[in-house]
A and B are shown apart, each in its own frame.
Chain A
């Protein structure tokens, strides 16, 4: 007897499966809602506390959403009012007065006073991750209900940069946050357009920001919610963009072609110089490095174009300088100052008394883009010139930083984020300087930095002083710059206002829903 029921059962089962599949297809959220901006960063911040936040992209995304800065640097580079409406140096440039915006409230509803700004700046000066911004500040005081004055030991034109949204020293934290410092690692208490939603946030995976109900300019709150997802894998980022799960993502040069092929927007701007930092300028560990000719030889021996082309493609350019075109201090005449010339390198070594070459160890800084390969190529270049370099890898900054602190290694690879030229001078070759872990002192470098500090950064005199510092650093081979790399953003449809510049670093507070 035929089982006449079976075909019907099969059909019914088939229909159910088809319905389930259809539901899966049509119910799949193709993209976040228009009021939600979802972006992807490749690394999570160690903390949400702006005191210890890191700069660059994506580092500034996390504090900038929740903390308005005293000075806002517009995408065109102009300094505009932020929490401070105006600011000015005194005639002798030894005091800096800021007049604060009236009616500002932190995300817990408490009003911002001059005393709050003073307390924050004092904390940042003492504990801030870039303490150098306020290193020359000797006194911070409220000189009016809405006025704060900073006294300086010596002129410092960098304050407007330190206090903008990239510098982060101006990311004022409210009194409630300062009273409960432990809370700042995972929650926010700023006067920015958004605030962290601790319930939705899963640290190291997903950071959810919602509107700050007390923000002074509601029109600038373009999104109901901003979600930053941490996606370390490049393929996963592309898949999330292609399927609309994220709208904007930090990109990698290696994935740029695939992103373009998938119809995504690829935005880029020079972001950092990669190369080698020489800490042992005094020759305490490797005596040869004390000689300028030896350092010049190290520079001449490098095939920058070969390394840039093979490792970084169209998003990396060979460079001999510390700032890119468009930043004061850049000089066209310094491009290719050290052409790839092994013979010249050998001749300089012989002239310096090192005809048989010399040896040193180079520590690999973590997180340098293709840093291992770049260093291996440099080692091969130097070997051709008779210089024997051993590489010492490190796995994380937690091991790298103390290793450099032992002062046993003469040099390190580095990624140096571009901002303004004085940052390079002050963080690389003066004493003290962030990178100067061996404590060398070069009187002329210090004098050139002092000359820069007496001028406004963007004034013609400031630019001329920056060019003098840049020239001195390049000509004397303080570092071996190799390649200028671009930072990239990948974007799908749905977001306007994306603009990627070297500085300020692009951040979501400027992005808007597409009309």
Chain B
């Protein structure tokens, strides 16, 4: 019961976030100096054409009126239309959401699984592995993903021809090429996360394995395997999951760079293009999508932490 109440309060908090973040984004965009009409119609656009453009898109209305109109539409699932090509924002972003999710969820799986495995091994396999991990962690955090992406392409795409250098294949077109095209971008995006998760896992595992309850279990004759994999890993899980969530949210911004380098038609590459074109409805739509992703992930992390950690419960 307490678990459900806890969860309900998190969801309510998340809903507030869903309103606040897009509101701030809209208002900040609204007061930005970009003149959409002139930017799209060009240097020699006549005042009449600019007025007609502004009137057609409702840009002649006060900011608060525009915002309330947008909010009214957003609540009913209508995020407006692109200023530049007239397409609905959902229509533009729908195919891109899947691309971005496949990249960032792929990265999430990779840095979580690989990071935890390395972390557990380094906690249980002695000092040398631990020290090595410390060094690799530092390198992992220091290596920018755009640099790693370029190196991965040069070696595995251009030289060895194992993976495509760029581009995306939809799962429905070919599951095989879908996975193949995602390998290098996922690795580039996940690399820093792997090292961070591994380090966190190792530290938490060592802490758990040296705790009084672990000593008691050993004294009672419990096997080392049981102590490590049944008890210590479960105790270490909650803080590791929190770190995983933080890295996941950070990887959203990293995905913008990775999508551009690997030419993936995701939300990140669209956000860059739309921002440069001052296509505010699309930028706003992307902000909404990213906020929803963050909110969902935060709730999922809260749920997982609650289930895994009796103290949180």
Taking Cβ atoms with an 8 Å cutoff, the residues of A that contact B are: 21, 24-25, 27-30, 44, 46-49, 52, 127, 129, 131-132, 181-186, 202-206, 229-233, 235-236, 239-240, 242-243, 245, 395-405, 432, 434-435, 437
Contact = CB atoms under 8 A, between A and B. Distances in A.
Contacts of B82: 185
A235 B150 contact: yes
Given A127-B49, A205-B263, A231-B166, 4 more contacts: A131-B44, A229-B263, A236-B165, A398-B39
B38 interface: yes
Nearest to A132: B44
Contact of B162 (A25, A181, A432): A25
Contacts of A48: 85
Given A203-B92, A405-B38, A47 B84 contact: yes
B158 interface: yes
Contacts of A24: 162-163, 180
Contacts of A398: 34-36, 38-40, 276-278
A168 B126 CA distance: 70
Nearest to B32: A399
Nearest to A229: B263
Interface string B32-59: 0111101111111000010000000000
Contact of B87 (A29, A44, A185, A404): A185
Contacts, number: 148
Contacts of A231: 166, 263
Given A205-B269, A401-B38, A434 B43 contact: yes
Contacts of A229: 166-167, 263
Interface string B254-283: 000000111101000110111111110000
Interface in B92-129: 92, 95-96
B253 to A, nearest CB: 17
A204 B162 contact: no
Contact of A28 (B44, B154, B180, B273): B180
A46 B84 contact: yes
B265 A206 contact: yes
Contacts of A28: 161-164, 180
A401 B43 contact: yes
A397 B42 CA distance: 8
Contact of A52 (B41, B44, B154): B41
Report which residue of A47, A236, A396, A400 has the largest number of chain B beta carbons within 10 angstroms of its beta carbon.
Answer: A236
B165 A243 contact: yes
A332 B81 CA distance: 52
A202 B164 contact: no
A21 B162 contact: yes
B157 to A, nearest CB: 6
Contacts of A204: 265, 269-270, 273-274
B176 interface: yes
A181 B263 CA distance: 30
B43 A243 contact: no
29 contacts: A24-B162, A44-B273, A46-B85, A47-B84, A47-B85, A131-B44, A182-B81, A183-B86, A205-B265, A206-B265, A230-B269, A231-B263, A236-B260, A239-B154, A239-B166, A240-B165, A242-B158, A242-B165, A243-B157, A243-B158, A243-B161, A396-B34, A396-B275, A398-B36, A398-B38, A398-B276, A401-B43, A434-B43, A435-B43
A402 B150 contact: no
B166 A240 contact: yes
A46 B40 contact: yes
B310 to A, nearest CB: 40
B263 A52 contact: no
Contacts of A47: 84-85
Interface string B171-184: 00000110010000
Nearest to B36: A398
B153 interface: yes
Contacts of B41: 52, 129
Contacts of A243: 157-158, 161, 164-165
Contact of B165 (A25, A245, A437): A245
A236 B166 contact: yes
Contact of A27 (B85, B165, B176, B272): B176
B263 A401 contact: no
A127 B46 CA distance: 10
Residue of B85, B86, B272 with highest tally of chain A CB at under 10 A: B85
Contacts of B35: 398-399, 401-402, 405
B38 A245 contact: no
B264 to A, nearest CB: 8
A242 B248 CA distance: 33
A412 to B, nearest CB: 10
A91 B252 CA distance: 65
A230 B266 CA distance: 12
Contacts of B273: 44, 204, 230
Query: 3 smallest A-B Cβ distances: which pairs?
Result: A185-B85, A398-B39, A398-B278
Contact of B39 (A230, A245, A397, A437): A397
A278 to B, nearest CB: 16
A62 to B, nearest CB: 12
A183 B44 CA distance: 24
A256 to B, nearest CB: 18
A181 to B, nearest CB: 8
A25 B275 CA distance: 38
A509 B275 CA distance: 31
A232 B39 contact: no
B166 A402 contact: no
Contacts of A403: 33
Given A245-B166, A398-B34, A399-B34, A239 B180 contact: no
B207 to A, nearest CB: 36
- Indicate the member of B86, B162, B275 with the most A CB atoms within 10 Å: B86
A217 to B, nearest CB: 29
Contacts of A240: 165-167, 263
A433 B224 CA distance: 83
Contacts of B260: 232-233, 236
B33 A402 contact: yes
Interface string B12-40: 00000000000000000000011110111
A153 B184 CA distance: 61
Interface string B202-220: 0000000000000000000
Nearest to B165: A239
Nearest to B92: A203
B95 A46 contact: no
Contacts of B167: 229, 240, 245
A463 B227 CA distance: 90
Interface in B219-266: 260-263, 265
Nearest to A127: B49
Contacts of A236: 153, 165-166, 260-263
A185 B42 contact: no
A372 to B, nearest CB: 16
A129 B161 contact: no
A396 B39 CA distance: 8
Contacts of A402: 33-35, 38-39
B31 to A, nearest CB: 13
